[in-house]
Structure 1
């Protein structure tokens, strides 16, 4: 993918990985707009020179209105990065976890689908463009304290595969970005081995810039997650990661 002279929308890009990707796309020469719900973060990004758009991916009408606003300002939009990623701990022994589960599915999975649905007609009409979906290493190697987050990201992976097959031959590509734990927004507290954000972003952008663009953007730090079943390490790693269940209240 040529990272220069693209017109990119990053939905869910007001912090962490998304914000860093916005900066790196812009540094490569692309025009970048960022969508999200945090007014303060959007104002900060506007001060950096990014286009900004308020969007709540759990609200279909809001997503459609945001699409119309984006396309009015950026009719040449050719790249949509969709990365809603609400991450909550859940104790599956407590039925009260259901509310958190429903919220994550609505945000992470259905939010991704709403954004893709909103922009598919535009990219199909152009006959060229790229969707970048964002999943997680946890989609392939569960982290037991975050079961629905893992399930939602595994679902986005499967959806991305199907979307790619359905758009084959249209000129619209589907690329899946699969981050490991990255040291943003408290991740360093959950996982002291989280990959530094700069290292992740540099490697991810390097992979994105390859020709042809890989179907999955897999930095070295996520390979153990992605290929655990193939490599025969899955069961041992899940057992190891289950030790983190002590993070849940009342567990020890």
Structure 2
């Protein structure tokens, strides 16, 4: 995709990977708006307050962004909550509901409110964010993985629905990236800078690649095809032993 002279909205872009991605887009000469529940001023970036679990907030943010940027042509939806769970404890349902509301329904809400605008332009790009976990579970993060698998499936369907409209659909498939939360869970997580170096290179490919898969996520994406699924799943189940009573 073209990476210059775009107007980019990154929902979930006020911290972590999203914020660093926003700075990369801005550095390349794009107008960038980041959205989050508690946006703070950032050099070179504009911001909008948005809670993807609240339909009213999402609509208000859409109206604010389009009023200021009627040329908006890239929407990245990456708001996410990652929580570990003990599926033997029914109390995990509260965390599960939180992740479904944010990671899956939040993604759908953001796409829904901006799709008519992009179709009206007959051009634009929607970028969703799934995960390597979408293709090979990490059982300690059961619902998180399930939401990311759902985002992948939804993205595939969205692409089919938007065929012929001029709106392209791409999916980021990150590996474990060393954000503060993930670094504690996975010492082998890829550094944020290394990951984004790879992402920007992959995004620049023309025509736009359907799945933007970092190298570290490839073994997860293709585990079933490569016959390594069962072995990797067993290895990734080992952290369950750290849960109380195991």
Q: Report the TM range for the smaller structure's normalisation.
A: over 0.9
Match of 2:210 in 1: 215
Deviates most, 181-190 or 196-205 = 181-190
Match of 1:200 in 2: 195
Q: How does 1:169-184 map to 2 (within 5 A)?
A: 169-184=164-179
Question: For 2:93 and 2:40, how far apart are their aligned partners in 1?
Answer: 34
Question: For 1:150 and 1:22, how far apart are their aligned partners in 2?
Answer: 25
TM-score, normalised on structure 1?
Answer: 0.96
Match of 2:26 in 1: 26
Superposed structure 1 runs of 4+ greater than 4 Å apart:
none
**How many residues align structurally?**
246
Q: How does 1:83-98 map to 2 (within 5 A)?
A: 83-98=78-93
How far did residue 186 of structure 1 move? Answer: 2.1
| Alignment match of 2:186 (pick from 182, 191, 194) | 191
Question: For 2:204 and 2:239, how far apart are their aligned partners in 1?
Answer: 36
Unaligned runs of 5+ in 2: none
Unaligned runs of 5+ in 1: none
Deviations 1:36-61 (A, max 9, x none): 012xxx2242xx12110000000001
Question: For 2:175 and 2:37, how far apart are their aligned partners in 1?
Answer: 24
Q: How does 1:109-148 map to 2 (within 5 A)?
A: 109-148=104-143
Whether the 8 Å contact between 2:139 and 2:237 is mirrored in structure 1 is yes
How far did residue 242 of structure 1 move? Answer: 0.4
